Structure 1
Amino acid sequence: MSIPPTSDEKDARGRKTGLWTDPDPHGGVMVGEYVEGERQGTWRHFSADGRLRAEGGFDKGTVHGEWVWHRSSGEIMQRGGFDHGRKHGTWTRWNTAGEMVDRGDYANDKKVGEWTTFNPDGTVKRTVTHRARR
């Protein structure tokens, strides 16, 4: 995947609109759509050399929906979801060999329920139960 060209336009009120390329502090860029000056829909984060680092959703300028992060090799490093800026739903991480490291759920930015950590051979290393905090 390569960095797509963008129009980088502003509307009559001076707000970003349409497909944009925004620089990030790590030397790469974020590419996605602005609606009424806010990030909306699927955005992709590319490294300085053009590799896809992450992609996921925004809703009215806030991270929302599933996000996937990639290693420099292109393999998936981590997958998880957001509910309007807060970690929510199942999160999973993999090591550089593609083996699952851990998996569990978030609710409102807090770990909840069973979180399982795996050994390199795929067997369960340990399971911890997190209770939802109020």
Structure 2
Amino acid sequence: MNEELVVDGERVDRYANGTVKAVGHVRDGQLDGAWRWYRIDGSLMRTGQFDLGVQVGQWQTFDRTGRLVKTT
């Protein structure tokens, strides 16, 4: 996995082929705020929130067609 070394601001992680794997914000080096994860085919896989590295709130998982399959 290719990750940008971001301490504060938007971070984009990519698969080896360059496709976006995850997008979100980092604050003080910790995942913070809304994050989205994608499959290698580009379809949205999961969304969730962090508060300085701690998972918070509702998390949603989607199938390859974009249908919501799980909320935790």
Normalization by structure 2: what TM-score? 0.89
Contact 1:32–1:42 under 8 Å retained in 2 = no
1:40 aligned partner, one-letter code? D
Contact 1:32–1:40 under 8 Å retained in 2 = no
Matches within 5 A, 1:50-129: 50-104=18-72
Instruction: Tell me the residue number matched to 1:29.
Output: 2
1:93 aligned partner, one-letter code? T
Give the 3-state SS of the residue equivalent to 2:4 in structure 1.
strand
Q: CA deviation at 1:103?
A: 1.3
Q: CA deviation at 1:32?
A: 5.2
Deviations 1:9-52 (A, max 9, x none): xxxxxxxxxxxxxxxxxxx311254xxxxx11110001111000
Q: CA RMSD in A?
A: 1.3
- Following the alignment from structure 2 to structure 1, what is the Cα–Cα distance between the partners of residues 52 and 22? 17
Structure label with greater radius of gyration? 1
Which runs of 5 or more residues in structure 2 are unaligned? none
Which runs of 5 or more residues in structure 1 are unaligned? 1-27, 34-38, 105-134
- Following the alignment from structure 1 to structure 2, what is the Cα–Cα distance between the partners of residues 98 and 73? 12
Normalization by structure 1: what TM-score? 0.50
The runs of at least 4 aligned residues of structure 1 exceeding 3 Å deviation read none
2:2 aligned partner, one-letter code? V
Q: Report the count of equivalent residues.
A: 72
